[in-house]
Structure 1
């Protein structure tokens, strides 16, 4: 049995915590930009294609999608430590029409565009989880150092106006700090887990398609010829 396709384009993703955190937080603004570009350009291009004005717009959308795909593959490699094979079919050396036909019939082009659209909902979920876990964990862990400087000279839970629990000294804040350490441990695991999941998603969307993976897997299963 030959190696799996993931073994051909990189080891199993195991992103560093800080790299994954930066990557997951940056997915929201990049997702907003990618979604806006793809939806705006493709909608405008398709809507005006009947009068030929939309064709240059659609061509621009295709070029941006492929450029963004290259950027994302580099970003995944740099921040998540996961290599994604470039999936594009070679463009013909001559002929503008032939080169554009190759771009438009290449499934990797459309997977790039779809990835940019899906990056928005993924970015919202990832950003929300990262901010929630890391902010709660860091705030609770550091509570003994700043609780006396808060308004009213204490930390009030759940709010300043609804004071079920009052923490007004570093000693009283120690249990909260211990809870914060637990949340930080969960945040580290969640960050690495989401980074791994997104790396696998990026590899599936931005790497070679299913047919290319099957062909690569078949090639690795072939016995080596005897010299």
Structure 2
């Protein structure tokens, strides 16, 4: 598609955004940030040139918007392939048993498991930060420091959102922005502040951080109960074998059900199956949470 030669950095970025329509929003954010950083650095190095002259000069080195967009699309595909070599080289079909027990060698399951444990701490921190920040912002609103405090609070929320995106990408494998949020630098400071408050992603990020507390509690509970129960069932027959008195017991309210020694193999198998089921559940939750984080934290292109 042929576009008119951009005469300003804003036109260049608008054309680049148009060329990247339909691409991953996280990749679009990175591309816009990188392009503006490069173009403004070139403009600073050549103060005697206008933006149009500078863009014409760097067209051969950095590339036109359509060329840059194509480079990012190709690079994104290469990175995706490099990060998931197993999926690319794996056979097209596996048996049901192979897929069920194969979760034991899937790094995504263990990364999601660690994320679910970590989410209790991050959820408490995010919730406390948002509730405290909103409360203080409301309290300071009538004071002269009210507006600066609110702006600072929203800036910290954006920074925490970027950090959370890094954690989600590293542990859950979901593509998140690797550069800060692109902001049009030609806008005045008041226009930037206004956009920050009217940007739906600012409010969806606040919602995500509040939501992380109940999610973190739920995730930690699932991991704690699932791990303890499955490992307990696996270990119970061995404890009985090594002379732990009383056999294998199940405590059901006020009743104690004592299982016979011949049921030890069944208890062991049940524990193993429960452990693998838990890993599948954890991996599924990790995938769903990654999609939730992407939807609430990443600005649409």
Which bin holds the TM-score, normalised by the shorter protein?
A: 0.7 to 0.9
Alpha-carbon distance in 2 for matches of 1:22, 1:137: 17
Alignment of 1:138-217 (within 5 A): 138-147=231-240, 152-158=245-251, 162-166=255-259, 172-209=263-300, 212=301
Which structure is higher in RCO with an 8 Å CA cutoff and minimum separation 6? 1
User: Partner of 2:118 in structure 1?
Assistant: 26
Alpha-carbon distance in 2 for matches of 1:88, 1:130: 33
Structure 1: 5+ residue stretches without partners: 213-227
Alpha-carbon distance in 1 for matches of 2:212, 2:25: 25
In the alignment, structure 1 residue 128 sits paired with structure 2 residue 211: no
Q: Secondary structure at the match of 1:50?
A: coil
* RMSD, aligned CA: 3.1
User: Partner of 2:185 in structure 1?
Assistant: 92
CA contact under 8 A between 2:108 and 2:173: conserved in structure 1? yes
Deviations 1:161-211 (A, max 9, x none): 7322146x5x542211111111112101101110010011011111123xx
Q: In the TM superposition, what is the alpha-carbon distance from 1:93 to its structure 2 partner?
A: 6.1
Q: Secondary structure at the match of 2:249?
A: strand
Provide closer, same or farther for how the CA distance between residues 148 and 64 of structure 1 changes in structure 2, counting only shifts above 3 A. Answer: farther
Structure index of larger Rg? 2
Deviations 1:130-164 (A, max 9, x none): 22222211111122222367874533211697322
Give the TM-score normalised by the residue count of structure 1. 0.76
The structure 1 segments of at least 4 consecutive aligned residues displaced by more than 6 Å after TM superposition are none
Aligned residue pairs, count: 205
